[in-house]
Amino acid sequence: MKGAGTDEKAIIQVLVHRSIAQRQFIKEAFKQLFGKDLADELRSELSGNFEKVVLGLLMLLPVYDAYELKNAVKGAGTDERCLIEILASRTCAEIQAIKATYSKGIHCSTFDGKLSQQVQWNVLVGAEYGRSLEDDICGDTSGMFQRVLVSLLTAGRDESSVVNEVQAMKDAKDIFEAGEGRWGTDEAAFLTVLCVRNRKHLLRVFEAYKSISGRDIEDSIKREMSGNLEDIFLAIVQCIKNKPAFFAEQLYKSMKGMGTTDSILIRIMVSRAEIDMIDIKMEFAKKYGKTLHSFIKGDTSGDYRAILLELCGGEK
């Protein structure tokens, strides 16, 4: 960045090929050497979607998720797809970290490099947004959709691997009788099961449900619900069954047809790069017969394309 022009290639190589923790050290070293904030300097030099990716990479994951959620609810209108994607896919620990970050802020650069990511997330100081995430979501949503979001925000899902066979059969029957087995739909029954039970238990519930109803749970949700409520219950089920496949589908939808939904493409590429990008790429190729790399290459351009392709990590 020094002198005339900006070396975008160097920025891409340095940031993409370092871990999140290493980027925090780079930020701290930059401030010590130059007395300036690296994110502020990059913000002044870059623009557009390339800037959004670069600044996202400089954030710790709960900070990035909190930032995205804040943007989803601020101002006129609500980005429900962002709320659904993040809250349906994050673990209880991740949601707790996001909530703490959202209301209290997080000091991203003063931690011991030996600390685990979870400990880094909990180094909370200052005030980032000053309101709770639940307050802001409740102010922007309503009805059963709001109730599902709030339930997910409690981060109360059982994360054990215990399967209660009797309870699983009862859960499957309860969902059937709340939807396909009655006139109208009792959405609360779906919430009680899908937002609370552990993954292994729910996989058994889904098997039992199909044996009772003759349909996959996703098909019944599509028949019984609509709009944002349908979308969030489907996202929960898909993340329980196969989270990388869920993200692969979101990426495909963000790029198919005319135009690109860059906000979704950027958010998933940045947030999943160090978690399950290899698995996402595999699921993408399996489901759509083309590589994620080729889709990104055909739908983007310039430095924005270059940094996304580096995050993607090659053709295969």
> Which pLDDT band, with edges at 50, 70 and 90, does 219 fall under?
very high
Q: Among residues of the chain, what percentage have pLDDT more than 90?
A: 81
Q: CB-based contacts of 287: which residues, under 8 Å, 6+ apart?
A: 245, 248, 249, 252
Residues 157-196: tens digit of each pLDDT = 999 999 999 999 999 999 999 988 777 688 999 999 999 9
The C-alpha angle with vertex 179 and arms to 175 and 183, in degrees rounded to 5, equals 145
Half-sphere CA count of 261, side-chain side, radius 13 A: 13
Cβ atoms of 308 and 281 within 8 Å: the answer is no
The CA distance from 223 to 234, in Å, is: 12
Mean pLDDT of 27-53: 94
Buried b (16+ CB within 10 A) or exposed e, 297-308: bebbeebbbbbb
> Which pLDDT band, with edges at 50, 70 and 90, does 117 fall under?
very low
> What pLDDT score does 75 carry?
73
Q: Is 192 helix (H, G, I), strand (E, B) or coil?
A: helix
Q: Name the residue with tokens 């590589």.
A: 291
Share in percent of the chain as helix, strand, coil (round to 5): 70, 0, 30
Mean pLDDT of 18-31: 94
> What pLDDT score does 69 carry?
94
Handedness of CA 189, 193, 194, 196 (dihedral sign): positive
The CA distance from 25 to 90, in Å, is: 26
Mean pLDDT, all residues of the chain: 89
Cβ atoms of 83 and 149 within 8 Å: the answer is yes
Tell me, what DSSP letter sits at residue 18?
Answer: S
Quickly list DSSP for 256-314. SSSS--HHHHHHHHHHHTTTTHHHHHHHHHHHHSS-HHHHHHHH--HHHHHHHHHHHTS
> What pLDDT score does 258 carry?
73
Cβ atoms of 249 and 264 within 8 Å: the answer is no
Handedness of CA 25, 264, 292, 202 (dihedral sign): positive
> Which pLDDT band, with edges at 50, 70 and 90, does 93 fall under?
very high
Please determine, for residue 5, whether its predicted confidence score (pLDDT) is greater than 90.
Answer: no
Residues 67-88: tens digit of each pLDDT = 999 999 987 788 999 999 999 9
> What pLDDT score does 122 carry?
39
12: its two tokens: 């891409």
Q: Is 200 helix (H, G, I), strand (E, B) or coil?
A: helix
> Which pLDDT band, with edges at 50, 70 and 90, does 120 fall under?
very low
Please determine, for residue 236, whether its predicted confidence score (pLDDT) is greater than 90.
Answer: yes
The CA distance from 164 to 170, in Å, is: 10
Please determine, for residue 105, whether its predicted confidence score (pLDDT) is greater than 90.
Answer: no
2 versus 261: the higher-pLDDT residue is: 261
Residues 259-305: tens digit of each pLDDT = 789 999 999 999 999 999 999 999 999 999 999 999 999 999 999 99
> What pLDDT score does 287 carry?
97
Neighbours of 128 (CB within 10 A): 18
> What pLDDT score does 316 carry?
65
Neighbours of 39 (CB within 10 A): 15
257 versus 16: the higher-pLDDT residue is: 16
pTM confidence score: 0.89
The CA distance from 301 to 307, in Å, is: 10
Mean pLDDT of 43-61: 95
Mean pLDDT of 250-254: 96
Please determine, for residue 17, whether its predicted confidence score (pLDDT) is greater than 90.
Answer: yes
Q: CB-based contacts of 305: which residues, under 8 Å, 6+ apart?
A: 296, 297
The CA distance from 207 to 201, in Å, is: 10
The CA distance from 289 to 312, in Å, is: 17
